[in-house]
Amino acid sequence: MSIIQIATLKCMQNKGSGDDAKPTDNRLKRDQVGLWHGIFQSFSHVAPAAEVAILITGTAIASGGSTPLVFIVAPIIVLLWLNTNYQFSKSIASSGGYSAFARAGLGEVAGNVTGWLFFFNEFLTYTGFALLSFAAFIYLLFPSLSGIPYSWIALALVPLAFTTILVYRGIRVSLNYAVYTGFIEVGVLTVGALLIIARLGAANNLEVFTTAPVHGNLSLIGLGLLFGLYSYGGSGSVVALGEEAKEPNKTIRKSIVYGWLLIVAPLALNAYALTVGWGINNMSSFAASPDPGVIEYFRYLGSIGGWIFVAVVINSFLDFGIAINNSLTRMLYYLARDSSILPKFLARTHPRFGTPKNAILAVALTSLIVAILSGEVFGPFMGALVIEGAASIAFMLQHFLATAALPFYARRNRILDLAKHVMIPLAALFLMAFAILSTVYPVPAYPLNLPAYVVAAWALLGLFLIMKRQKRFFL
C-alpha cells in the first residue's frame, strides 16, 4: 500500500470517527446519546422538583383535595398516549417527533399543523416555566428582590443563558448534565415525600384518591387533569432525539418506558404528601400559595431538608430548560428543513457541534421578548400560568393528532394490531378530548380563560400559512 493510500485511509477514518465526526449538509450529529441520556431527556422535560414546588398549584386550583387523584390518573392516561410514541418509534426516528408521526399517518398538512402546535407548546412552556417560573420562584425565596425594578428580567436571563449555552454546545454535553443532576433530584423527591408521609402519622387519608373532596364534580377533575397531563406529558419528548441517538429505534422506545417509570413515583408521592400535609379542606389556600411545596418541606423536614429541596428545585428549572430546548429546537430545525412553514436558515447546523445553531439562537431571542411582554402584563407568576395554560392546550392537540394518525399508519403499512393501533389510541383520544373540553366549559375566570382563545388563533394562523404556501407551491 502506497503512502498516499495510507494517508487517504487515515483521513477517511478520522473523518467518520467518534466526537470528531463533523456533520455535513446541515445534518444533526449522529450517535451522540444513549439510553440514560434518553431517559433523563424525558425526566427533565417534566421537571418533577419544580413541578412540586410551584406548578402543582395549577392542578390544585381546580381539583383541590383530589389533587393526588389527578396525579394517579394522569400518568395512566399519559401511558395510553405514549403508546403512540412507542409504536411509531419502532420505524420512525426523526427530529420532527410528533410532526413526523402525524405526517406518516395523516399526510403532510396534518404533520405540519402538529409541528406548528408543538412549536407553540414547547416555546410557551420554555418561556413560561423555564424562564418566568424560575424568576417567580427566586422572588418567593428572596422577597426583597421584588423591590428592585425589573429584577425578574435579570433572573430570567440566568436559565436562558445557561440552557442556551449547553444546548448550543452539543446534545451530549447538555444531557450529561441532566443525567448527573437528575439522579439527585429523584432521590431527594422520593425520600423527602416518604419522610413527610411518615411525619403525618394518623393524619394520612386515602379520601384524596376519590372525587369526594370536590363533591363528585368531574369537570373540576377534568380541568385539573389538563395541568396534570401537562405535568407528565413531557416524558415523550425523547422522540425529538431520533436523529442523534444511538440505535434510535431501540433507545427511544426504552427511554419512553423507563422515563415514565422514573417520573411517576416522585410526583405521585409528593402530590399526596403535600395535599394531606396542607389539609384536604384547606386546599384553596394551598392553590393560592405561590410556593406550597417549599413551605411544606421546611415545615416537615426543617431548614436543612428545606434548603436541599430548594437547591434541587432551582436545578430542576435548569434541567427542564435543557430538555425542552433540545426538543423545541429540533422541531424548528425539522420544520425548516422538511416543510415550507419556516425559513430555511433555521435548518443550519453548527459545523463542529452538530446542533441546530440558528434555531437555538432564534429561540433564545424570541423567548426573552415574550417573557418580558407577558411578565409586564400579568407579572411573572400569573404570566407563567397564563402561558402554560395555552401551552397545555396546544400540547393536548398535538398529541391528539399524532395519536389519531397511528391506526392509519399501521393499516397502510399492514402492521395493524387491534389493541396497539386502534383500541388504546381510541381510549387516549377520548380522555384527551375530555381534558380539552374541560378547559372551555365551564368557561374559566379571567385570565385563565385566555389560553383557549390564544391557541385557537395560533392554530388558525398556522393552518392559513400552511394552505397558502401549499397553494403557491402547486400553482
Contact 102, 402 (CB under 8 A): yes
Give residue limits of the domains in the chain.
35-474
The predicted pLDDT at position 195 comes to 97
Q: Which residue has the cell 385539573?
A: 224
pTM metric for this prediction: 0.86
Give 344-375 pLDDT, tens digit per residue.
899 999 999 999 999 999 999 999 998 888 77
- Residues of the chain short of pLDDT 70, as ranges, are 1-24, 230, 378-388, 438-439, 442, 444-448, 470-475
The predicted pLDDT at position 37 comes to 97
Q: Measure Cα distances from 280 to 273, 283, 347, 375 in Å.
A: 11, 6, 50, 32
The predicted pLDDT at position 160 comes to 96
**3-state SS class at 131:** helix
The predicted pLDDT at position 444 comes to 67
Pull the grid cell for residue 340.
415550507
Q: Considering only the top CATH level, what class is 35-474? A: mainly alpha
The predicted pLDDT at position 380 comes to 58
Contact 336, 362 (CB under 8 A): no
Q: Which of 363, 337, 354 is nearest to 171 (CA)?
A: 354
Q: What's the CA angle centered on 364, arms 168 and 111, to 5 degrees?
A: 85
Q: Which of 241, 226, 184, 202 is nearest to 33 (CA)?
A: 241
Sign of CA dihedral 342, 343, 347, 352: negative
Contact 432, 396 (CB under 8 A): yes
